[in-house]
């Protein structure tokens, strides 16, 4: 564990890279940096991470005060603000207490890691941190597992590229087939993540290639270099591993979890890995999923597989994040008895209670795959004795590839707040934090999401997609936060000095941008009207008749998937009451999920009072109007933003308008060709 | 021009490569090789190719007689057969005369190249060449331009692979990013082509990458090595070139054909190329086509572009094959006024009469792209003052990827025999040979096709796809040949000693296999119901709403493309009478092209008496039945074939059955979902 390379705040703030500063421009530290600041961290035998974070806190304060006219002072020198590690009543090393009284602002924490989060709390508050009085506020994360998964390949994949489903250029970790020599940018990324609240990062794609498998072998020192860069910001590194590693790397002839040599190989691999990275978080694994190898090949269950790995990493305090994205990707479209939506539940719920204590079963938030609108996954609520983690996607695989301005805070907020047992009951976020009503409170799975960052100048392709990364971190810390207030934080930090007009325009563009995207793409929860493979642009029948299990069965009479117990696939039975009944009937099913749960005629009348087909026309015309309005609003306000950023946004809006118009016309024409029903209002629908 | 490397007949026959001998197994030479053979070629200053072919003829005869007990004897030694170069009444160096009288068989030709074709004529005849009497027969090729185009990349393309649209493994020319050191297999390929009648080969993909551009530069000696291997078999080598070569290779800032530096660069490039390969055939070029650069960027026409290249190569006797596959591949699907089928005609016919004498405008046989059934291209018949070459595809991009048993001889025969001006008028093959009724007889464009060969053990993936390569050569030599008789030749040569049952089964499987493939895939000339990109497997709406210009406009009422003058795109106006009127009316349009020319209701009654939708059901059920019958027939006969070949065929049949069944069910379901009309005979159609 060497000292962090090139990641001092001074270097990070100095703009030495041609990279946008995102939500940590120099000016974000102006209020704090202008103060007289005391940092009190007692000398103690801290764990390595805490010790390094302590250095980071001191360095951040020193850099900010040097830049903005304040000073680092002793406690007796009448500081404006004190950041102090003190004995605490709780033992959450990430929590902190904020208070302001008698003209003094104070952050206290039991561990330097909490102090760092407190520091960034002050940064967010700006001048407000030093005005008036503040009651004592304790801030603690909702869950200790707040993770980003990188789908970065070391070797550029011939089809999927370097960052699978990435839309922000190459990887910040890898270039030219190896770990970058210069990890300065990773250090800056770590700082951004810490300021948003993320504390764990897996650094390679869950589809693990041959080269990436070697991260457990000869490339381990390279992985350790990355971990060294994350550590000073309180971020734990995880590795994605291949189930086939014992064969690929160890030369064994099997990966059977019951095989003693396999178990020994993994135990020795874990010994080796933790020797190199003593505080590694653990392994993420995609097994028996979309062609990846897994325990099924040996007649073993996912519990067998996960527990075998868990045993190997347990002596080191490691976790296994075992993904539940297991389904038949070679389904026969003619087989109406198979419903991909049921797969995660079917594969994992029977094993509830059998997973080891250090296994997190990581379930996607919806039963399909990160659609703009799908039901929540019932599997999340069905394993009270399992650590269930929930997986989201910050990268916008199905949501416009960071070419469209789509803010996802509201979508995540709605999902995280979904009350599985009816109003007032524990939410998705609660379950992820161990709060299943039938659980014992210890089964904490946490929250994970696929990162949207690449080596792009603005990190995220579309500069506004930075807001998604920021919001992801903030919502993992506090799922109950108002996502529009979070957006406001991002605006304040990212665009210091932006006037009211600029702020108002950003809200106008972004606040309801998720709903806008839904309006011009796949309607009413029907899902998967995207172009196969790329997942960008419309192709209403693109997944019909494929082996992927994602169909909508449109014919001349109607559309949608009957997932009822009465006449359909029976998927509704996987939900607890009341949802199993709410979704079962088209009379009670929410409009926005109607086609997810029911096959209905085009003339079916929604709760809104319009027919399905007219709803499609109305929302699609309106969706494009909204995009045009957003583009026009941007055109008026662009001058308030830095020119390079403004140019990028303007360029993206041109593509969004083109794409949204194409979506509108394709979807409208598709529904017209199938239904034969024209638009009530006589707008143009191509034949 | 060095001596051919590793291409002696003895080496080729000795089975030194683990490669199937195709239609030239050792046994094919048994009849000839058992005879006393005289070869008489006068010493003369032959052109290099003729001189080397003379060596080849002698070596072939020597090897055959050595292997089969005959002998090379002098003319006075009572030969059974004489192969002699003699002064001829015509000056076609490829023609030969065959005669048998007084117990002696005689091949005469004016040039060793004709003698080589005569030699392979004897091989095809086998014992029959030495029995009874034969009238004097003159054999001459229909056209002197009988070409194969290889779409082989030197560098493996990340999406398209090494051989674009290839289904037979890697390239026989290239491996590991360079020309193979060992070209033995290319020599064997040259021999197979000569035995089939092909005399020109372009050796790299028309989509020319940066590495392949260097074939005009530092890689030129490597291209010369390949030409050296083709030359002894009378085969002329061509190169595909990039329009952007002056920029990529020459460092110029433009490729404008009006620019003096560009013209000079090409002239110097031609000087350099012909210095290395003095008998190079010329350049093939895909310009302004599917993203390839071309003269449009400079406001120049295709005539400007082609003539500029033509001027550069004319001093060397070179040809420019300028492809007419020019269309808007970024079409707006909403734009019903644009019809891709019209594009080749629109772009090229206005320039008729302006192309240089050494330009061949190479037009695909159909107006779209090698579909199982499409109309013939009207552009072929519309340029009497232009050398029009016709392009076919031996590789089965849209015809089953050499996983399905599909013999294309009948398809090509039908197309080549299409009489553009009504029954008895000149055919497509006639036009390609300079026989346009309004032409002067000199405008010979010839026939070209994309090769189906790769480094596969059986050359062509499906062993039966060898028959397509063979038939392609034979039909370019004689377009009027009976394609089933050609298939018989292939069977005789390839499977010596095969009994009647085996032969009968091969005919049962292959004779109508093109029609079978049509029956289970896209019906009635509707085209493009394939999966986008891969072009394998069904996706009825796969190209609907795309930018590719290939739509069928299916809705709940009907399907098909209205290309009439009266109400549609007006494409029918591009045909001469009578076809412009035959195709114009659904009453006279042939059933098999109905949906190519007309948008009709599903209930439209065909000439056959059945409705469109019932026709779809009937043909699709029947198509799969035929595939099953073929598979079963094969299972009975497989034991008559070599085990490795039989295993490969059996494996392919399993995939063909799976795929054909999928096609049947997807297409039937698609028509059912759209029409709501069930099968009259109550067979299973999935909903």
- Which of A233, A123, A124 minimizes the C-alpha distance to A186? A233
Cα gap A361→A495, rounded to integer Å: 39
Using CA coordinates, name the residue in chain A closest to B687: A553
Using CA coordinates, name the residue in chain B closest to A685: B334
Bridge partners of B538?
B530
Active-site residue list of B = 290, 369, 397
Query: Does pLDDT of B411 surpass 90?
Result: yes
Active-site residue list of A = 290, 369, 397
**Residue among B158, B556, B665 whose CB faces A158 most closely:** B158
Q: What angle do CA B105, B107, B111 make, to 5 degrees?
A: 165
Q: Residue B91: its pLDDT value, please? A: 81
Tokens of B29: 């030479």
Cα gap A197→A205, rounded to integer Å: 22
**What share of chain B in percent tops pLDDT 90?**
96
- Which of B570, B477, B367 minimizes the C-alpha distance to B147? B477
| Mean pLDDT of all residues belonging to chain A | 96
**Residue among B159, B334, B540 whose CB faces A686 most closely:** B334
Long-range CB contact pairs, A69-75, < 8 A, 24+: A69/A33, A69/A34, A70/A32, A70/A33, A70/A34, A70/A35, A70/A36, A70/A37, A71/A36, A71/A37, A72/A37, A72/A38, A72/A39, A73/A36, A73/A37, A73/A38, A74/A38, A75/A38, A75/A40
Over residues B324-354, the pLDDT tens digits come to 999 999 999 999 999 999 999 999 999 999 9
**What share of chain A in percent tops pLDDT 70?**
97
Query: Does pLDDT of B1 surpass 90?
Result: no
Q: Do A665 and B334 touch (CB under 8 A)?
A: yes
Q: Do B556 and A556 touch (CB under 8 A)?
A: yes
Q: Do A556 and B159 touch (CB under 8 A)?
A: no
**Residue among B334, B538, B673 whose CB faces A556 most closely:** B673
Tokens of A98: 């904020």
Over residues B27-84, the pLDDT tens digits come to 999 999 999 999 999 999 999 999 999 999 999 999 999 999 999 999 999 999 999 9
Phi, psi of B90 (to 5 degrees): -110, 170
Contacts of B533 in chain A (CB under 8 A): 533
Q: Residue A235: its pLDDT value, please? A: 98
Over residues B545-570, the pLDDT tens digits come to 999 999 999 999 999 999 999 999 99
Q: Residue A10: its pLDDT value, please? A: 43
Contacts of A673 in chain B (CB under 8 A): 553-556
**Residue among B334, B541, B556 whose CB faces A676 most closely:** B556
Pairs of CB atoms within 8 A across A/B: 70
Reported confidence tier of residue A629, pLDDT bands at 50, 70, 90: very high
Query: Does pLDDT of B475 surpass 70?
Result: yes
Q: End-to-end alpha-carbon separation of chain B, Å?
A: 65
Average pLDDT over residues A75-85: 96
Instruction: Check: CB of residue A542 under 8 Å from CB of residue A531.
Output: yes
Q: Do B674 and A669 touch (CB under 8 A)?
A: no
Q: Residue A16: its pLDDT value, please? A: 55
Reported confidence tier of residue B89, pLDDT bands at 50, 70, 90: low
Q: Do B669 and A539 touch (CB under 8 A)?
A: no
Q: How many residues does chain A have?
A: 687
Q: Do A334 and B686 touch (CB under 8 A)?
A: yes
Average pLDDT over residues A152-172: 94
Q: How many residues does chain B have?
A: 687
Q: Residue B16: its pLDDT value, please? A: 55
Residue A134: other Cβ atoms inside 10 A: 16
Q: Which candidate in A536, A537, A555, A661 is best for mutational testing of the B interface (most B CBs within 10 A)? A: A555
Global pTM value: 0.93
Using CA coordinates, name the residue in chain A closest to B676: A556
Over residues A92-119, the pLDDT tens digits come to 999 999 999 989 999 999 999 999 999 9
Instruction: Check: CB of residue B134 under 8 Å from CB of residue B89.
Output: no
Question: What residues of A are in the B interface, CB distance below 8 Å?
Answer: 158-159, 333-334, 336, 532-533, 538-542, 544-545, 553-557, 662, 665-666, 669-670, 672-676, 686-687
Over residues A387-415, the pLDDT tens digits come to 999 999 999 999 999 999 999 999 999 99
Residue A87: other Cβ atoms inside 10 A: 7
CA dihedral A155, A329, A413, A522 (to 10 degrees): 110
- Neighbour-count burial for B502-518, b at 16+ CB within 10 Å, e otherwise: bbebbbbbbbbbbbbbb
Question: What residues of B are in the A interface, CB distance below 8 Å?
Answer: 158-159, 333-334, 336, 532-533, 538-542, 544-545, 553-557, 662, 665-666, 669-670, 672-676, 686-687
Q: Do B676 and A555 touch (CB under 8 A)?
A: yes
Average pLDDT over residues B602-608: 97
Average pLDDT over residues A520-544: 97
Over residues A191-233, the pLDDT tens digits come to 999 999 999 999 999 999 999 999 999 999 999 999 999 999 9
- Which of A328, A318, A270, A326 minimizes the C-alpha distance to A302? A326
| Mean pLDDT of all residues belonging to chain B | 96
Q: Residue B609: its pLDDT value, please? A: 97
Q: Which candidate in B331, B336, B535, B545 is best for mutational testing of the A interface (most A CBs within 10 A)? A: B545
Instruction: Check: CB of residue A372 under 8 Å from CB of residue A401.
Output: no
Q: Residue B628: its pLDDT value, please? A: 98
CA dihedral B604, B608, B614, B619 (to 10 degrees): -140
Q: What is the CA radius of gyration of chain B?
A: 25
ipTM, interface predicted TM-score of the complex = 0.91
**Residue among A533, A545, A555 whose CB faces B666 most closely:** A545
- Which of A645, A223, A190 minimizes the C-alpha distance to A460? A645
**Residue among A545, A553, A555 whose CB faces B539 most closely:** A545
Q: Residue B614: its pLDDT value, please? A: 98
Average pLDDT over residues A513-541: 97
Residues in contact with B185: Cβ distance below 8 Å, sequence separation at least 6, in sequence order: B17, B19, B172, B455
Contacts of A661 in chain B (CB under 8 A): none
């Amino acid at each position: 564990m060497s000292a962090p390379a090139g990641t001092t705040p001074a270097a990070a703030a100095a703009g030495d890279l041609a990279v946008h500063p995102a939500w940590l421009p120099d000016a974000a530290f102006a209020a704090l940096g202008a103060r007289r600041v005391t940092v009190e961290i007692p000398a103690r035998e801290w764990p390595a991470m805490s010790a390094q974070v302590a250095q980071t806190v001191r360095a951040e304060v020193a850099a900010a005060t040097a830049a903005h006219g304040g000073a680092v002072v002793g406690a007796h020198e009448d500081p404006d603000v004190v950041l102090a590690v003190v004995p605490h009543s709780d033992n959450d090393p990430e929590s902190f207490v904020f208070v302001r009284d008698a003209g003094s602002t104070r952050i206290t924490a039991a561990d330097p890691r909490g102090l760092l989060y407190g520091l960034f709390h002050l940064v967010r508050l700006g001048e407000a941190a030093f005005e008036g009085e503040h009651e004592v506020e304790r801030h603690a994360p909702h869950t200790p597992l707040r993770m980003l998964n990188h789908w970065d390949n070391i070797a550029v994949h011939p089809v999927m590229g370097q960052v699978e489903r990435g839309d922000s250029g190459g990887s910040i970790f890898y270039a030219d087939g190896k770990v970058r020599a210069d990890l300065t940018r990773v250090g800056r990324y770590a700082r951004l993540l810490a300021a948003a609240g993320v504390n764990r990062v897996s650094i390679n794609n869950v589809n693990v290639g041959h080269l990436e498998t070697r991260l457990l072998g000869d490339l381990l020192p390279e992985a350790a270099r990355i971990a060294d860069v994350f550590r000073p910001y309180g971020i734990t590194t995880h590795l994605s591993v291949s189930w086939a590693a014992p064969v690929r790397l160890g030369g064994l002839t099997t990966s059977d979890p019951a095989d003693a040599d396999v178990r020994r190989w993994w135990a020795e691999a874990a010994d080796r890995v933790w020797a190199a990275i003593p505080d590694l978080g653990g392994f993420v694994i995609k097994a028996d999923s979309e062609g990846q190898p897994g325990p099924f090949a040996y007649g073993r269950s996912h519990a067998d597989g996960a527990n075998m790995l868990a045993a190997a990493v347990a002596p080191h305090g490691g976790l296994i994040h075992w993904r539940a994205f297991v389904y038949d990707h070679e389904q026969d479209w003619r087989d109406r008895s198979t419903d991909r939506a049921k797969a995660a539940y079917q594969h994992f719920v029977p094993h509830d209670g059998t997973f080891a204590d250090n296994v997190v079963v990581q379930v996607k938030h919806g039963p399909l795959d990160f659609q703009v609108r799908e039901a929540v996954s019932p599997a999340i609520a069905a394993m009270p004795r399992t650590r269930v983690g929930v997986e989201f996607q910050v990268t916008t695989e199905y949501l416009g590839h960071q070419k469209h301005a789509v803010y996802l805070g509201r979508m995540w907020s709605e999902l995280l707040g979904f009350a599985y047992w009816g109003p007032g009951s524990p939410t998705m976020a609660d379950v992820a934090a161990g709060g299943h009503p039938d659980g014992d409170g210890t089964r904490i799975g946490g929250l994970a999401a696929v990162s949207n960052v690449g080596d792009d100048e603005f990190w995220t392709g579309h500069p506004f997609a930075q807001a998604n990364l920021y919001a992801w971190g903030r919502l993992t810390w506090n799922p109950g936060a108002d996502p529009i207030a979070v957006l406001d934080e991002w605006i304040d930090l990212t665009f210091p000095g932006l006037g009211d007009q600029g702020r108002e325009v950003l809200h106008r563009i972004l606040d309801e941008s998720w709903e806008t995207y839904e309006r011009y793409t796949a309607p009413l929860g029907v899902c998967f009207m995207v172009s196969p493979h790329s997942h960008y642009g419309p192709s209403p029948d693109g997944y019909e008749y494929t082996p992927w299990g994602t169909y909508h069965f449109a014919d001349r009479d109607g559309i949608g998937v009957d997932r009822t117990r009465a006449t359909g696939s029976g998927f509704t039975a996987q939900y607890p009451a009341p949802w199993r009944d709410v979704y079962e009937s088209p009379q009670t099913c929410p409009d926005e999920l109607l086609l997810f749960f029911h096959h209905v005629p085009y003339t079916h009348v929604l709760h809104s009072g319009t027919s399905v087909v007219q709803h499609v026309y109305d929302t699609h015309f309106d969706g494009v109007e909204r995009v045009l309005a957003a583009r026009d609003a941007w055109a008026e306000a662009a001058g308030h933003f830095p020119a390079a950023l403004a140019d990028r946004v303007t360029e993206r809006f041109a593509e969004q308008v083109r794409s949204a118009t194409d979506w509108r016309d394709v979807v409208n024409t598709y529904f017209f060709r199938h239904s034969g029903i024209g638009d009530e209002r006589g707008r143009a629908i191509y034949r």
